[in-house]
Amino acid sequence: RAAEATLTLHGDQTGPVISPEIYGHFAEHLGRCIYEGIWVGPDSDIPNTRGMRNDVLHALQALDIPVLRWPGGCFADEYHWRDGIGPREKRPAMINTHWGGVVESNHFGTHEFMDLVELLDTEAYISGNVGSGTVQEMMEWVEYLTSDADSPIANQRRANGRDRAWKVRYFGVGNESWGCGGSMTPEYYSDLFRRYNTFVKNYDRANPIYRIACGASGTDYHWTETLMGKVGHRMDGLSLHWYTLPTGNWSDKGSATVFAEDQWFSTLRQTLRMDEIVTQHSAIMDAHDPDKKIGLIVDEWGTWYDVEPGTGPGFLYQQNTLRDAIVAGLNFHIFHAHADRIHMANIAQMINVLQAMILTDGPRMLRTPTYHVFEMFKVHQGATVVPLELDPPDYTHGDASIPAVSASASRRDDGTLHLSLVNTDPHHAQTVSCTLDGVTATTVRGRILTAPSMHTHNTFDAPDTVVPVAFTGASLDGNTLTVALPAMSVVMLSL
């Protein structure tokens, strides 16, 4: 039986632009994200471009990735960039203490990352080392990357095979400095940010670097208050990390694929907390920065489950089901609703780690349901929010409820309007009756991502089990759009 949702689209009103960077990614030296996931080396049997596997590159290129964060994460604050330049066979190895204690070869370093950035036609977001690195080390990395001067450091880059400086749009001054990045207080970190940031120079004056300070974990509002007060407009962006744990409990996260409706429901309810958390951080930022010049950068988000049985606990390898697709859709809708403050968001992580786009197994790879949401939603990148009012029915489980329907709309420069819809209810279809105010539409086309069960996922033997297909459940009658939204689905409509 279908429940009813009503929705009014205000096509005659204009909201903020959705920063393309909200669709950003994150690749850390963690588990099999970099090694195996992207980097196989030029001598691999797996077809590759200068060491990066072609199947993965091809899949990622289709997402129009706007920005890629690297090298961590916790890894960033123990990474010393000089170990990752020069001839690969001469690079010193190191221990990746955070992630499995494995030996890191440093074969994927600055040149390889910037090559990847260019192959993906994306922007670089580099996380600098504040926790265990010096100001000089950070300063010289920025010079190595971005200076065209005839200086010893820029000439070292040239000697290593790159003549022109690269463009680095975003630079993070430390990661999780309250935890793995140095266990600092916000007061101490604020002073360190001011010091390190002073030496992040704009060698390329035409492309000034957007500086991102380490922000809060979840509901740590004191961190945001302190940073806004002590650092203020010295930073361009302040980060926020909020992961979706099915129970909110780190010691019992649950399986990615084997779960009951309790965990389906609690996962979605946890992920919807992103709205409340962003709202509260934004309110603090508004008090210091009413013109919203400083961006909130949600540079780690996504689901975090127990690792797949038989895989290393420090590798954070998890499968990805229809539940993850719903989580992605809900988060994007929240980010759009806060597009005036959120300048960027980076899902954790791109390949083989946490809520990944792509999983690999030797020469095989698959696109996850989350990948398909990123692909379906890319039309929202850079588009202008079309305000809407939604009155959704509840999806009730036990004695708790969440909205059964979530929606977001945007208009592209060519006038095309996109409406994305998510049905969180695994049992009931929803009929969405949509009044189009100030929208002239004559046709509606759509695609849907859904599956027979909450647990459905893509495997290496059946990689296209969950894929978007044409959606025929939307019809137009004058200024009324009616959508028959199947249970547990993500739909993208073009008008």
Catalytic residues: 176, 300
Cβ neighbours of residue 56 closer than 8 Å, sequence gap 6 or more: 37, 38, 351, 358, 360, 365
Give the single-character DSSP code of 189: H
Nearer to ligand AHR, 96 or 226 (CB): 96
* Residue from 104, 300, 324, 375 in contact with ligand AHR (CB under 6 A): 300
| Inter-residue contact 420 to 333 (CB < 8 Å) | yes
Span from 67-75, 183-191, 306-314, 323-331 in contact with ligand AHR (CB under 6 A): 67-75
Tell me how far, at minimum, the Cβ of 178 lies from ligand AHR, in Å.
10
For ligand AHR, the closer of residues 16 and 179 by Cβ is 179
Residue 42 burial by Cβ neighbours in a 10 Å radius (0-12, 13-18, 19+)? exposed
Stretch that binds ligand AHR, among 69-77, 200-208, 383-391, 467-475 (CB under 6 A): 69-77
Size of the site for ligand AHR (CB under 6 A): 10
Q: Name the burial class of residue 179, with classes exposed (0-12), middle (13-18) and buried (19+) by CB atoms within 10 angstroms of its CB.
A: middle
The type of residue at 284 is I
Q: Whole-angstrom Cα distance, residue 70 to residue 32?
A: 14
We find the least distance from the C-beta atom of residue 19 to ligand AHR, in angstroms, to be 21
Cβ 249 to ligand AHR shortest distance, Å: 16
- Using the minimum distance from each CB to ligand AHR, give the nearer residue, 240 or 454: 240
Shortest distance, position 354 Cβ to ligand AHR, whole Å: 6
The answer for residues whose C-beta is within 8 angstroms of residue 115's C-beta and 6 or more apart is 50, 52
Query: Smaller CB distance to ligand AHR: residue 356 or 493?
Result: 356
Q: Does 74 engage in binding with ligand AHR (CB under 6 A)?
A: yes
Give, as ranges, the residues between 165 and 194 that touch ligand AHR (CB under 6 A). 175-176
Which of 37, 71, 73, 254 is in the footprint of ligand AHR by CB under 6 A?
73
In the bound complex, what is the minimum distance in angstroms from residue 105's beta carbon to ligand AHR?
Answer: 19
Closer Cβ to ligand AHR, 79 or 264, answer by number: 79
Residue 348 within binding range of ligand AHR, rule CB under 6 A: yes
Rg, Å, the chain Cα set: 22
| 349 cis-preceded (ω within 30 degrees of 0) | yes
> Which residue lies nearer to ligand AHR by CB, 21 or 176?
176
For tokens 């409820």, the residue is: 401
Would strands 384-385 and 405-411 be described as parallel, antiparallel, or unpaired? Answer: antiparallel
Cβ-count burial 437-449 (b if 16+ within 10 Å, e if not): bebebeebebbbb
Please identify which residue in 37, 72, 329, 446 interacts with ligand AHR, judged by CB under 6 A: 72
327 near ligand AHR, rule: CB under 6 A: no
Minimal distance, residue 417 CB to ligand AHR, in Å: 35
Which segments of 145-270 are extended strands (E)? 170-173, 210-217, 237-244
Which residues of the chain form contacts with ligand AHR (CB under 6 A)? 28, 72-74, 175-176, 300, 348-349, 354
